[in-house]
């Protein structure tokens, strides 16, 4: 099996751009080849073009979703960018007096962000009603998120009090892992959402939306379309969080900056 060529890389990069809006730079060519090599081995194919043709033929049910999973999987961890969780606690939840509080983790990956939010809401809102909707394009990471089982090395920023209160440490064959407690999992629902398509009405409206560490993969036009599509699900006065490495400057006038990486819907 040869290395992925520039022409073959273009086939996959164009596919994921059309399907998910993700703009893969040429610098990702080696990474894409490495990730896809296992599928070539699985089907005993000689080159990446053959795999592309196999996926597009629709003769292998589920392989297109497998390709999407491979090209969109990203690393995350508990309480990533902790200042956002501090802001949510101090500026929003301590003052909350409304009805059921709803947050959408719109690019939830394997669930660490959603469960971090769940811990914050459980601590701050006591017995008041709250709900987290968490979505991603990859069915692989969603399946992991629903299980709520993680390696202990994902908890560098997780406070010991929260770990003890909301996580169950694995023993014997499960040593080195932990599972998020059921009392958090029952408030957290995971589902597949493609942010490039209309958002299902059934998802409802939200007080806060987290869309972090995903806009960096979009070009300006796609970024604007995705942000405005997602923001339609944010209540007026609701907060919209993006990553510290991202900005909405010159992207949309639907949201107004509160401080860098935190926006409010007008």
The first and second tokens of residue 16, run together, are 């994921």
Q: What angle do CA 243, 127, 206 make, to 5 degrees?
A: 35
Report, in angstroms and rounded to the nearest whole number, the Rg of the chain calculated over CA atoms: 20
Active site (annotated) includes residue 35: yes
- Residue 164 burial (10 A CB sphere; 0-12, 13-18, 19+): exposed
- Residue 199 burial (10 A CB sphere; 0-12, 13-18, 19+): middle
Q: Which residue(s) pair with 180 in the sheet?
A: 167
Q: Is residue 166 within 8 Å of 119, Cβ to Cβ? A: yes
Exactly one of 80, 102, 136, 185 is catalytic; which is it?
A: 136
Nearest partner of 134 among 166, 103, 177, judged by Cα? 103
Q: Is residue 237 within 8 Å of 265, Cβ to Cβ? A: yes
Residue 112 zone, left/alpha/beta (φ > 0; ψ -120 to 50; rest): alpha
Q: Is residue 209 within 8 Å of 104, Cβ to Cβ? A: yes
Q: How far apart are CA 92 and CA 248, in angstroms?
A: 21
Measure Cα distances from 244 to 74, 83, 132, 177, 260 in Å. 17, 10, 22, 29, 7
- Catalytic annotation, residues: 35, 136
């Amino acid at each position: 099996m040869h290395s992925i060529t520039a022409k073959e890389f273009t086939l996959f990069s164009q596919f994921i751009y059309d399907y998910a809006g993700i703009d893969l730079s040429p610098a990702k060519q080696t990474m894409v080849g490495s990730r896809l090599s296992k599928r070539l081995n699985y089907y005993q194919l000689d080159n990446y073009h053959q795999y592309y043709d196999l996926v597009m033929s629709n003769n292998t049910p589920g392989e297109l979703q497998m390709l999407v999973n491979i090209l969109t999987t990203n690393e995350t961890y508990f309480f990533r960018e902790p200042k956002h969780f501090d802001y949510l606690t101090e500026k929003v939840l301590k003052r909350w007096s409304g009805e059921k509080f709803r947050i959408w983790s719109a690019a939830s990956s394997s669930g660490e962000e959603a469960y971090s939010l769940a811990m914050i809401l459980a601590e701050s809102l006591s017995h008041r009603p709250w709900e987290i909707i968490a979505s991603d394009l990859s069915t692989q990471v969603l399946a992991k998120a629903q299980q709520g089982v993680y390696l202990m090395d994902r908890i560098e920023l997780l406070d010991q009090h929260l770990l003890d209160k909301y996580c169950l440490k694995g023993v014997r064959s499960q040593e080195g892992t932990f599972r998020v407690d059921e009392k958090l999992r029952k408030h957290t629902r995971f589902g597949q959402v493609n942010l490039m398509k209309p958002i299902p009405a059934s998802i409802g409206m939200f007080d806060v939306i987290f869309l972090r560490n995903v806009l960096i993969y979009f070009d300006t036009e796609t970024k604007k379309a995705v942000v405005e599509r997602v923001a339609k699900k944010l209540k007026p006065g609701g907060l919209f969080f993006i990553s510290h490495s991202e900005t909405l400057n010159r992207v949309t006038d639907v949201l107004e900056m509160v401080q860098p990486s935190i926006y409010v819907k007008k």
